[in-house]
Copies of this chain bind each other. A is one copy, B any other.
Amino acid sequence: MQNTRRRRGFEAERELVRKLWSKGFAVMRAPASGARTRLAAYPDVVAIFRGKIYAFEVKYRRDNSPIYIDKNQLEKLLEFSRRAGATPLVAVKRPNKGWKLIPVDMAKQTNSGGIKIDDEVLDKGIGLDEFIAMATSASLKKFIKNIG
């Protein structure tokens, strides 16, 4: 049960990496969590498109229950993002419904200093294709402006 959950989360990360790489992003997945190789605060996945940086916490969600990211995990994501100048996002994979990407400041804050993503928040998130289109065209516009 625990293993199945971990495996699904792992497969979701792999799918996100593969998709973003295929669309031209530089992508990096963190080493396995819990390893003593974690000397620094790592997000699950970092994706970069021509200088624009995105830090992802990846969540697999099978049912309709809310997703929680606790204070410790959230602070790691935010600390990495502050240092990098990255946009922090939660990427939620749902079976048969695809991905929803939620900027961290769109989530609800919990009393314990973490965040909560429920259906209301998920509805405001964007799909993976939509995210890719936005991230790559913004860079394209900037690129064209710079050479124009």
Contact = CB atoms under 8 A, between A and B. Distances in A.
B21 A39 contact: yes
Contacts of A24: 83
A86 interface: yes
Given A51-B51, A86-B48, A30 B31 contact: yes
A5 B1 CA distance: 38
Interface in A2-26: 14, 17-18, 21, 24-26
B48 A84 contact: yes
A49 interface: yes
B49 A83 contact: yes
Interface SS majority for chain A: mixed
A53 B53 contact: yes
Contacts of A49: 83-84
A40 to B, nearest CB: 4
A48 B14 contact: no
A28 B25 CA distance: 16
A17 B26 CA distance: 19
